[in-house]
Amino acid sequence: MYEGAEQRMVLGQITKDTEFVIRHWQCSDKPGYKVCSLLPDGKLHVFGDAGAWSGPYGARVEIRDLLRYYAATIAKRAA
């Protein structure tokens, strides 16, 4: 995964408009989750609607998890 300078570069590319695929939250391969806010504890609030069986969903995520979702989203787009 991303480390050091590469991690900082990737984090610099992620904006509130960047959409992610988060497979365990959704029923489709469509990116639909976005970062909504940076929380005081350093976690991020991610929210969206990409076909989750219960409708729109959001949760707090660690930066390392966001980087994993980003990598998976990029890989899915390249496939």
Q: In the chain, where are the structural domains located?
A: 4-78
pLDDT of residue 39: 95
Alpha helix (H) residue ranges in the chain? 4-13, 63-78
pLDDT of residue 2: 77
Q: pTM to 2 decimals?
A: 0.83
pLDDT of residue 29: 82
Encode burial over 32-70: b for 16+ CB neighbours within 10 A, e otherwise. bbbbeeeeeeebbebebebebeeeebeeebeeeebbbbb
pLDDT of residue 50: 78
In the chain, which stretches have pLDDT less than 70?
1, 52
